[in-house]
Structure 1
Amino acid sequence: MNSSIRWTYLKPREIVSELLKKGYSVSRNIVRYLLKKHEYVKRKAQKNITMGGHPDRNAQFENITQLKQDYLDAGNPVISMDTKKKELLGTFYRNGSLYRQAAIQTNDHDFPSSATGSVIPHGFYDLKRNTGYITLGTSHDTSEFACDS
């Protein structure tokens, strides 16, 4: 064991098992107590370490903003296109809630092999007309998908 490590993925029962292998007999309650006493709690990673930005980042966005305005002033279309993450189709869990009379039953795991397929949303937005379209498709080739849309 490395004493400099200050975290673990192990659950209390797994810690008990590892300690038993080393000849120490301890209960899960004691492990839980010690974790709490030493202020070890379940935590998720937090994205808070900045990696810095490109020195020309602001200039890039200012240039894009100016070009966009020039095109709009000239009566030309300005479009925005994007393809989002694919979603598996099937009886998979989805975040959110809705009103129903009975619970929705879903698979306990989201294995791609259990999917009936996948869908990829592709969005197209015309800034001048304030009009957008969403196409749902199955192509993983973004440029092919965009052209087909």
Structure 2
Amino acid sequence: MILAALDALLQDATAGDPVKGTQWTRKMLRTLCAALVAQGFSTTSPMTVRRLLQGRGYRQRVNRKRLTKDHNAHRDRQIRYLTRKRRAFLKADDPVLSVDTKKKELVGNFRNEGVTWRQGPLEVMETAFPSDAEGKAIPYGIYDVGRNHGFVVVGTAHETAEFAVAAIRRWWQGIGRPVYA
């Protein structure tokens, strides 16, 4: 009986690969569980729904990055050059940095993912509109490959080349110079 109810919930939210026979759904376990409880299956939990889905051939899937554009010899040559430089710098105990900008976050009294232990709920805004924010935080990550050490600089203005240079300069002055100079 619960399987028929689950199948009905999945009917319009299922996709799959007919060649491989794999199926997936866009609905979350908690959503399916709540819908089953609303239909009278009161002892249903997300773990129960997971087992039922697995029994029906559903599996958790993630996208695989396998598709590429046409082969580009110039790109391969550039990557090989950078790989040689990276190895030489590491062998000489010179700094090798990997840098990237992380997801921008609104600054304010907004809901964040995750949980904390507290005696009562923290009251936050219902919505997270940029117009309600006190500002925007732009985390810039710097990873020292040779030392396996990360460093994050958080800016509040704009993500620019000047910001990147300032972040690397701050890393060099505070961490890099004492270690490498």
Q: Between Structure 1 and Structure 2, whose CA radius of gyration is higher?
A: 1
TM-score, structure 1 as length reference: 0.61
The answer as to 2:149 corresponding to 1:139 is: no
Corresponding residue to 1:52 among 67, 78, 85: 67
Q: Secondary structure at the match of 2:162?
A: helix
The question of whether the paired residues in 1 share the 8 Å contact of 2:98 and 2:145 is answered with: yes
CA RMSD, Structure 1 to Structure 2 (Å): 3.3
Aligned to 1:21: none
Q: Return closer, same or farther for 1:74/1:48 CA change in 2, 3 Å cut-off.
A: closer
Kept in 1: contact 2:98–2:143 (CA 8 A): yes
Matching residue of 2:130: 112
Number of corresponding residues = 116
Q: Give structure 1 stretches of 5+ with no counterpart.
A: 1-32
Equivalent AA in structure 1 for residue 104 of structure 2 = K
Which residue pairs with 1:94 in the alignment? Answer: 112
Asked if 1 retains the 8 angstrom alpha-carbon contact of 2:100 and 2:141, the reply is: yes
More RCO (CA 8 Å, sep 6+) = 1
How do 1:1-149 residues align onto structure 2 when only pairs under 5 Å count?
36=8, 39-41=11-13, 43-44=25-26, 48=63, 52-54=67-69, 55=71, 63-149=81-167
Q: Percent same amino acid among aligned pairs?
A: 35
Report which of the two has the higher share of helix: 2
Instruction: Provide the rounded CA distance (Å) in 2 between the counterparts of 1:73 and 1:96.
Output: 41
The one-letter amino acid paired with 2:125 is N
Q: Shift of the alpha carbon at 1:122?
A: 0.9
Segments of 5+ residues of structure 2 without an aligned counterpart are 15-24, 28-60, 168-181
Normalized against structure 2, the TM-score is what?
Answer: 0.51
| 1:48-89: CA deviation from partner (whole Å, max 9, x where unpaired) | 587721435777655543331122113322111111121001
State the shift of 1:103 in Å. 0.7
